Structure formats: structure tokens, C-alpha cells
Structure 1
């Protein structure tokens, strides 16, 4: 069973690299490397049980199709596995992300078992390892490029304001096409602002309240139009006024059990897995 391991250092924030790794819009079309890769279409980031399809050139004019299914997905990477096919009995790919002072260390480990006994093992020696290295090299270049694009994209920030195991949500009043739908407080980061400054300003404008911004929640989330959403946990600052609906139809504090029942804006619906993860330990404490 061949095992191949490679490492690469990507100069970007961990949340940005995690987003680039799972971005549905990341693709590889590298004729020189003989690799084409596509993820399934849809909003948000790739999650567990979703698939990535490959076409890999093994000899001039000879391409083989592969499809791997994500079995584990998290902030530190993912693991995927192919279904048995005509060439492989099994193929597994694990990616691990480890933040360092110089960037994010990305470790790829690929293991596989070919069919055809001794002939398959000979093909591994002559072709398999070389093909696997080409695939990983093409994927690494695509990952670096996408992480660079996401890192330079215009940022939108959202505040997951939590109190007593509940999350503050607000209902839009305009424009008419989204009136009545729910979202998190937040908005665009203006020129010269930090994410934290933008969140405090947006919460003051939208809620009439002051917040203390805490840790990032989940990976960066690519949005239609090229922006990136960054979500932060927040709490009401000491002495803050009670939040009110300054610009919205209303506010609501919701539990984790109520999250999926709201008619969320598309961008905010993307972050529901991260919101559930944020509220889950709080729900357990309350229960």
C-alpha cells in the first residue's frame, strides 16, 4: 500500500487557508500537470459527504476519472476517500492544517491500494507515485492562488452575539426583495477599519448597542461577487444599552434548536454550521 506525504507552507491566515481548501469554486485545470479537478456546485464551503471529481492523465492521451468523498471536515483539514473503482481498491487523502509563525503548514498524505496484484504494484512504482505528486503539486498551486485571492478580497464581518445560550438575530426591513428575512448584525469593512472596528460600528448603528468582539468563528466564507464573510463571536459590552431594532423590523434571541427554522439571508444561512457549533456547548450547559 503506497503512502505519499508532502508539505507546503502557505502564507495566509489559518481561516483563509481552511476556506480555500474547501471552496467549491476552487478548481484545477492544469494541462502541464495533467490534472483537472472540480468540486460539486452549491453555496458555501464543501462539507462532509460531498465529493470532488478528478481527471488525471496517466499516459499521453490516457486519462482516468476519480471521485473522492469527504468523510471528515474541520478547521484543521479534511479526510476523503474514493469508492472502489476499476484501478483502485481504495484511495484515501488526508489534509492537515497547522498554523505556524511563518504561515500555515499544509500536509497532504495520500495512500492507495491498486488492483491487479504484482502488475498493479509495478504500475505504482513506474507511474502511480509520479502521477500522485503531479496531482498534489497542481492542487498546492491552486490552494496558494485561492488563499491569496481570498486574503485580498473585500471583507464583510458578522457578529454572533451570544447571551445565556442564545444568539441575537435581526429581521431585515429593506430592500423589498429580502424584507422579512433574518441575518446577523454586521456589514462591510470600510477602508482603514479593522474587522473589530467595523463590527463595533455596525452594531452601534444597527442595534444601538456596544459589543466586545471575541474570537473568529469558523473559516472565511467566500460570497457571491467576490467578497469574504468573516464571523466573530461577540458579547454585549459592560454597560451597553439593550439592543433595539434601529434599522430592522425586529430582533430575536434564538437557541440552537431554533436556528434552522428562521428564513435566513443566503449569506447568513451559509454559516449555520458554525453557529450551531458555537451554541452547542452553551445548549448543553443550559440543559
Structure 2
């Protein structure tokens, strides 16, 4: 089985790099540079999504299924196409102030031994694709490193999650999201969430570490704790980050001041909601958060 690998340093934290790997816009740009076209179901990929790469035969005429999308990278496997097998794994690890990114592409040609005559061609196309992807990844991460941050609150009470249904704009009305908003200059992410929840919900929250959190990878260096779930989530020229939280004892019950409605949902209900694309990208982490 031929294997191609490419390894490089990217000047950005692992959660941002892993988030950009899930973003289909940069992936489409990279494929276009390699002479292919991408068809995808959403702007941010999650496990189970199928991606179609359309080109003239060979390595690029395939449909792949995402089998993992998380803080440590992105992996996919062949779902349909002329190759017998195809796998693509991108691993992201912390390296100094940035990230080490390792791409590995492996395949098995069709028709057994006679099909292996196509391996040199596939190898050239695969190398071109990995190099284009590497360049686009670095460009997008550089663009987002200093981007404005939007924060969302995963507020859990008695094993249920608070979700909010959008009322505007028209193209997003009726879809679901986590409450939150933009971080103002000089404001910590935790402070922004506390303020936003008072404004949006009339409720008081505290941002706190999720169960089993690793205090060594905190996102708020002032308190040194990890309150984050999932990757950074690129949304245009901004980055969304999701933090775990709970209502403060004695807080008023949350009210839909800016949303169409609010609901408390259990783990079995989370996947069935019509989420905004960015919030959909943390559904797996939200379900894990709600499991006993």
C-alpha cells in the first residue's frame, strides 16, 4: 500500500489548526489549486459527513467519509470510488508556541497488481494535493490568529443542556445555537460569557471546567483551567470558542430575550436539532458532556 506523508510546523495553537482543518472553504481552495472540486454537506466537518472530490479519475475521483474530527486532527476513509482503499489522516500536536501537523495519505489501487501501474501518477497527484493543503492551512491559520473571538456557553443543569433558537436573520431563523456573543477588547472569554448571558437570557452563570478537564491546557491564563470543549470554530473572519458553564445558585430562570425560544435538552436530543453549522461542529462533545 503506497503511503505519502508530509509534516510541517504551523504558527498557530493546535485547537485553531484543528478547527481550520474542519473548515470546508480552505479545503475547497486547496483542491482547486490541485485541479479538483470539493462537494461538502456543511461549512465545518463532523464525523460521519461524506465529502466528494470530483476530478478526472484516479486518486481524486472519490467520495470519503469523515471518521474523526477533533482537537487532535481530522481523519477520513474511502466511501466510494475507483480505489480499493483510501485513507487520509492529519494529526495535530503542540510544538513550541505553534503546532506540528502531519499528513498521511494511503491507498490501494484497483485491479490488484495490474492496477499498481497507476501508483506513480497517484503519488504525484497526492503530493500536489497535500502541498496545496499545507499552504492553504498556513494561510488561513495566519488570518485567524488575531481574529475577533465569539464565545458560546454550554450551560448544563441536571444532565440537560440549554439551547437557543434563532429568531433572526431570516436565513438563520429557526435554527439552534448555544447562547453567547462577542468578546469585547480587554475582556476575558469567561467575562464575556457572563455578560452575554445576562443580556440574552437574564440569567447569571459561572464558567467552570468540564468534568475530567486537563488544567494544563487552559484557555484563560488568568485562572489556569480548561473550560473549553472542541476545536476553535472558524466563522468567516471570526473564531467561535465553546466553554462549559452552569447557572449560579439563585439565578433567575433563563428567558428568551433575543431568541425565538429556549429548551433544556438531554444527550439523546442534541443530535436531532437543526443546529447552526458552527454549533453542529461540537455536537459530539456536547453529547459526551451530558452523559452520566
Cα distance, 1:179 vs structure 2: 7.5
Superposition map of 1:29-108 within 5 A: 34-55=34-55, 65-75=60-70, 76-82=72-78, 83-85=80-82, 88-108=83-103
Cα distance, 1:142 vs structure 2: 1.1
Find the counterpart in structure 2 of residue 165 from structure 1: 159
Q: Is the strand fraction higher in 1 or 2?
A: 1
Cα distance, 1:69 vs structure 2: 0.6
Q: Deviations for 1:205-239, whole angstroms, at most 9, x for unmatched residues?
A: 3334131243212222333x5333221111234x5
Cα distance, 1:162 vs structure 2: 1.0
Matches of 1:156 and 1:216 in 2, distance apart? Answer: 13
Superposition map of 1:10-21 within 5 A: 10-21=10-21
Superposition map of 1:1-287 within 5 A: 1-26=1-26, 27-28=28-29, 34-55=34-55, 65-75=60-70, 76-82=72-78, 83-85=80-82, 88-115=83-110, 120-121=115-116, 123-124=118-119, 126-170=120-164, 183-206=177-200, 207-214=202-209, 215-223=227-235, 225-237=236-248, 241-245=251-255, 247-248=257-258, 251-259=262-270, 267=276, 270-272=278-280, 274-275=282-283, 277-280=285-288, 282-283=290-291, 285=292
Matches of 1:34 and 1:54 in 2, distance apart? Answer: 11
Q: Deviations for 1:157-213, whole angstroms, at most 9, x for unmatched residues?
A: 110111221112346677899787754321111223232221122123333413124
For structure 1, the residue ranges without an aligned partner over 5 or more in a row are 57-61
Matches of 1:148 and 1:258 in 2, distance apart? Answer: 37
For structure 2, the residue ranges without an aligned partner over 5 or more in a row are 210-226
Cα distance, 1:47 vs structure 2: 3.9
Find the counterpart in structure 1 of residue 216 from structure 2: none
Q: Which has the larger radius of gyration?
A: 1
Matches of 1:5 and 1:178 in 2, distance apart? Answer: 40
Matches of 1:158 and 1:113 in 2, distance apart? Answer: 42
Matches of 1:65 and 1:170 in 2, distance apart? Answer: 40
Matches of 1:81 and 1:252 in 2, distance apart? Answer: 36
Which segment drifts farther, 273-282 or 12-21?
Answer: 273-282
Matches of 1:242 and 1:122 in 2, distance apart? Answer: 69
Q: TM-score, normalised by structure 2?
A: 0.75
Matches of 2:176 and 2:182 in 1, distance apart? Answer: 17
Matches of 2:172 and 2:106 in 1, distance apart? Answer: 47
The CA RMSD over aligned residues, in Å, is: 3.5
